[in-house]
A and B are shown apart, each in its own frame.
Chain A
Amino acid sequence: MRRMTSRFLPRTITLSTLVVSATLAVPATATATGASSATQPLNGLFRVAASSYFRMVYPGGAKYFKNPYSADPNKTYTLIVAGSDGGLRTGALQPAPAPAFDHHGNSLAGRIIRPTDFAGINFGLATKGTAPAISVSGYRLTGQVKGFTAEWNNLSFSQGGQVTGSYNAQTHVYVLTWSSLISGGPFNGFTGSWHLTGTFVS
């Protein structure tokens, strides 16, 4: 895994990371402030804040795909913003509409994120089959987003996987990350790397 240094991090990401890190900082009196180590499911909405992003790694992990249409100065980061639902729901599906694409192949799946330009065609996100399930234990998030799919250019890419992250029960700020190897299709061998951050609403 390539180590991210501040030289490569876009300014927006660096600032948001600092804010999120500060917000997620574990208080010394964790147990006294109500953080429980028992595993509890978080069913609700993981709101997607503007500093969430997606990256795609070439086969072999040698380099990242550059999306010239990314709003970030570092084009290997494709910034994503909340869609009509406000973010990713757990315990429920957020399927793509029918039809799922316009005549150019732009995704119309706009519930999780607003469809975002990726190399000239908009991609959207949806969940199919298995609803996402995420639990918190203390400050640690674990779970699955098996049905997570990225829709682009009349194609649907499975981007499901096991998620990990952190959660602050006082501020409800979360960070979720996972990676998913693309198997088959034009991006076979690429790995999608997802980083969602924002607040959780039950």
Chain B
Amino acid sequence: MPAAGTCRASVRRPQTRRFKTIETRARVERIQGYFGDMAVGQGAVQLRLVPALPRSGLSPEEINSRYPKLTTFDDQWAHILNDMTPMIGAMSDNVANYQAVAALPPFALFPWFFVAPGLIVIGSATAAGGPGRARRVLDARLSDIPGPLVEGVK
């Protein structure tokens, strides 16, 4: 069982970072390899070991009582494949998605993507003379237009 501190640390850690070493093409291929090895192992249990045990003089009851996990493993193999195969598929299909998400900047920086442009706009406006200057420019332009039309604009 992990220490409480470890749990708290993993909760604080961003979810994406926890998959950094897992959600890679190389790791997926390694797990695909594990799958192949497991299949060979299960085949050896089912096709060699289980048939060999009765030949050693053990009755089916004795085999079940002495090696219960063999029977369980055999019975559960299809279910293991049913679970494991889609998991590998999901891992494999999401490597690109994960890498795209992981490449994003930390979420804590996101507010600054709105604040920073806002500050730039305000700074630019201030440097250009502020709202008073804009009003003066508008008035100067309006002075070139005939009076009756200007009334409508104002």
Contact = CB atoms under 8 A, between A and B. Distances in A.
Chain B interface residue number, banded: 20 to 34
Chain A binding surface SS class: loop
Contacts of B29: 58-60, 189
Interface in A136-185: 153-155, 184-185
B47 A68 contact: yes
Q: Is the interface of B mostly helix, strand, loop or mixed?
A: helix
B82 interface: yes
Given A66-B40, A67-B39, A186 B46 contact: no
A54 interface: no
Contacts of B53: none
A120 interface: yes
A105 interface: yes
Contacts, number: 73
B36 A65 contact: yes
Given A66-B36, A120-B46, A155-B89, A188 B28 contact: yes
* A interface residue count range (under 10 / 10 to 19 / 20 to 34 / 35 or more): 20 to 34
9 contacts: A67-B43, A104-B82, A120-B78, A153-B81, A155-B86, A184-B92, A185-B92, A186-B92, A190-B32
Interface of A: 58-60, 65-69, 75, 104-105, 119-121, 153-155, 184-190
Interface of B: 28-29, 32-33, 35-36, 39-40, 42-44, 46-47, 77-78, 81-82, 85-86, 88-89, 92-93
Given A120-B77, A187-B32, A188-B92, 15 more contacts: A66-B36, A68-B40, A68-B43, A68-B44, A75-B40, A104-B82, A120-B42, A120-B78, A153-B81, A184-B89, A185-B89, A186-B89, A188-B28, A188-B93, A189-B29
